[in-house]
């Protein structure tokens, strides 16, 4: 069966702005928590499974070193790697630590960074399914028609890197930024995307 090589699972800049506006303008702590973890995913490109596995100590170490260590235990294929943090990622980590304190969770080193709710009987970290459900909630609140999941933040970062990097081969930047085992994994981000196809159809009209 012929498979079309079209890259679709990313957020356009306008979609990204709408989604962040929908959640970022809310004052309640759980909305602020969601805004922070979505910004962290957007700025680092880590997988949602890795996000669910991050601890308070991981965040503290990342803030000290300006690098986020994705331990093998929480990385895909148990291949750990390092993410270099920009200012927005650093702020997202700081916000997550602050919000978990304001939710009433003690800063125990090996406790989950992103908590599911206020301190109480459970005190559990958010599960991958919970991240997916919250993303769906905010996607709908923003009125987005695309079926964006938390993993789309990883694709969105990669797409921006390919578009904006001045490196000779931007795929090498994507490989290191996302912890890919091979440069080949980044080839998908060079495929025609939704914007390319729409522009081409307009040009052909």
Q: Tokens representing 73?
A: 């235990």
For residue 157, pLDDT beyond 50? yes
Compute the distance between CA of residue 121 and CA of residue 135 in angstroms, rounded to an integer: 25
- Split at pLDDT 50, 70, 90, the class of 1 is very low
Q: Is residue 70 part of a domain?
A: yes
Q: Tokens representing 62?
A: 């990342």
Q: What is the pLDDT of residue 117?
A: 82
Of 42, 155, 171, 180, the catalytic one is 180
For the segment 77-88, the average pLDDT, to the nearest whole number, is 91
CATH number at residue 104: 1.10.443.10
Compute the distance between CA of residue 149 and CA of residue 17 in angstroms, rounded to an integer: 16
| Tokens 């025609």, residue located | 192
154 is catalytic: yes
For residue 51, pLDDT beyond 80? yes
Compute the distance between CA of residue 8 and CA of residue 146 in angstroms, rounded to an integer: 9
Of 10, 35, 81, 189, the catalytic one is 189
84 is catalytic: no
Q: Where are the beta strands (DSSP E) in 57-154?
A: 67-70, 81-84
Q: What is the pLDDT of residue 64?
A: 97
Q: Is residue 35 part of a domain?
A: yes
For residue 134, pLDDT beyond 90? yes
Of 18, 76, 98, 137, the catalytic one is 76
Cα dihedral across residues 17, 22, 25, 29: positive or negative? negative
Q: Is residue 165 part of a domain?
A: yes
- Total domains in the fold of the chain: 1
Instruction: Say what the pTM is.
Output: 0.81
151 is catalytic: yes
Q: In this structure, are residues 36 and 95 in contact, taking their beta carbons and an 8 Å threshold?
A: yes
For residue 165, pLDDT beyond 80? no
pLDDT digits (tens, 9 = 90+) for 36-49: 999 999 999 999 99
Percent of the chain surpassing pLDDT 70: 74
**The domain containing residue 46 runs over which residues?**
13-203
- Split at pLDDT 50, 70, 90, the class of 2 is very low
Chain-wide mean pLDDT for the chain?
Answer: 84
For the segment 61-81, the average pLDDT, to the nearest whole number, is 93
Q: Tokens representing 104?
A: 């009433």
Q: Is residue 199 part of a domain?
A: yes
| More confident call, 93 vs 122 | 93
- Split at pLDDT 50, 70, 90, the class of 110 is very high
- Number of H helices and number of E strands within the chain? 9, 2
Of 100, 134, 151, 155, the catalytic one is 151
Of 33, 39, 42, 47, the catalytic one is 47
Compute the distance between CA of residue 188 and CA of residue 9 in angstroms, rounded to an integer: 10
- For residue 171, what are the contacts with CB-CB under 8 A and spacing of at least 6? 162, 183, 186, 187, 189, 190
Q: Is residue 3 part of a domain?
A: no
180 is catalytic: yes
189 is catalytic: yes
For the segment 81-104, the average pLDDT, to the nearest whole number, is 95
47 is catalytic: yes
């Amino acid at each position: 069966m012929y498979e079309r090589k079209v890259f679709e699972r990313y957020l356009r800049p306008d979609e990204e702005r709408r989604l962040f506006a929908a959640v970022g303008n809310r004052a309640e702590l759980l909305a602020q928590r969601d805004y922070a973890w979505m910004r962290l995913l957007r700025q680092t490109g880590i997988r949602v499974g890795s996000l669910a596995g991050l601890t308070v100590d991981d965040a503290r170490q990342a803030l000290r070193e300006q690098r986020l260590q994705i331990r093998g235990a929480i990385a895909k294929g148990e291949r750990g790697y390092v993410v270099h943090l920009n200012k927005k990622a650093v702020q997202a980590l700081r916000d997550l630590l602050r919000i978990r304190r304001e939710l009433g969770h003690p800063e125990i080193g090996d406790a989950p960074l992103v908590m599911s709710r206020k301190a109480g009987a459970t005190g559990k970290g958010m599960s991958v399914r919970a991240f997916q459900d919250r993303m769906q909630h905010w996607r709908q609140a923003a009125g987005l028609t695309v079926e964006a999941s938390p993993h789309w933040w990883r694709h969105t970062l990669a797409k921006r890197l390919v578009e904006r990097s001045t490196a000779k081969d931007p795929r090498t930047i994507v490989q290191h930024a996302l912890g890919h085992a091979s440069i080949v994994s980044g080839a998908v981000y060079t495929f025609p995307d939704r914007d390319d196809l729409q522009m081409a159809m307009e040009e052909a009209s």
